[in-house]
């Protein structure tokens, strides 16, 4: 599943060139970016898992014109320890990769854009329990929606801030609320 989703994302990014005759090539703008992400997870209280995570993400995308783009990403959280001093001490972390479709709406001043996204991602949540409880590695496809603001400093550099909601539907982790901030470099 992981390889299939990743290959589908890469194929989408590069297959757009097959229809390049319909578009002016100057309108296609590939970019790369890096984000800091704060995640608040809706986790069952009985698990004893901490709810907040700090993550980093790298992404690569392409803007087809001023209004539409497609972005592939990989996100990795840091490990969180919880309930120290109890028999239920846990360590948890997650990583995700996926594909988001972005919509951009220029507003007022030059360089400001309202940004919206819809996407799908593969989430892998790792839980390690203290003692004889063992560990658990759960994988789930999540559906994402986001809204935010992007400011284009120059033709090549931009900064983005977004809120994103992700529905996972796991027994332990129902959904994620994320705030991310990052920079983009367009080629």
Candidate from 45-59, 103-117, 143-157 with smallest mean pLDDT: 45-59
If one looks up domain 2-186 in CATH, what number appears?
2.40.160.20
Burial state string for 63-99 with b = 16 or more CB within 10 A and e = fewer than 16: beeeeebbbbbebebeebebeeeeeebbbbbbebbbb
Candidate from 27-31, 96-100, 116-120, 133-137 with smallest mean pLDDT: 133-137
How close are the terminal C-alpha atoms of the chain, in Å?
31
> Is 87:110 a contact under the CB 8 Å cutoff?
no
pLDDT at 60 over 90: yes
Domain definitions of the chain by residue range:
2-186
For 78-126, the pLDDT digits (tens) are 888 876 655 567 788 899 999 999 999 999 878 899 999 999 999 998 8
Q: pLDDT-derived band of residue 25, with 50, 70 and 90 as boundaries?
A: low
CA distances from 175 to 39, 51, 61, 157, 164 (A): 10, 11, 25, 32, 11
For 152-171, the pLDDT digits (tens) are 999 999 999 999 999 998 88
């Amino acid at each position: 599943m992981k390889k299939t989703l990743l290959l589908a994302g890469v194929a989408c990014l590069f297959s757009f060139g097959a229809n390049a005759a319909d578009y002016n090539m100057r309108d296609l703008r590939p970019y790369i970016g890096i984000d800091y992400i704060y995640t608040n997870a809706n986790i069952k209280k009985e698990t004893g898992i901490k709810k907040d995570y700090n993550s980093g993400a790298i992404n690569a995308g392409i803007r087809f014109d001023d209004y539409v783009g497609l972005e592939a990403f990989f996100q990795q959280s840091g490990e969180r320890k919880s309930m120290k001093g109890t028999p239920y001490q846990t360590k948890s972390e997650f990583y995700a990769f996926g594909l988001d479709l972005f919509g951009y709406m220029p507003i007022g001043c030059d360089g400001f854009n309202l940004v919206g996204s819809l996407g799908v991602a593969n989430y892998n949540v790792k839980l390690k329990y203290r003692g004889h409880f063992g560990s658990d590695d759960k994988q789930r496809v999540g559906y994402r929606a986001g809204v935010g603001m992007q400011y284009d400093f120059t033709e090549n550099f931009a900064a983005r801030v977004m809120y994103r909601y992700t529905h996972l539907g796991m027994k332990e982790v129902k959904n994620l609320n994320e705030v991310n901030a990052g920079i983009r470099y367009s080629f």
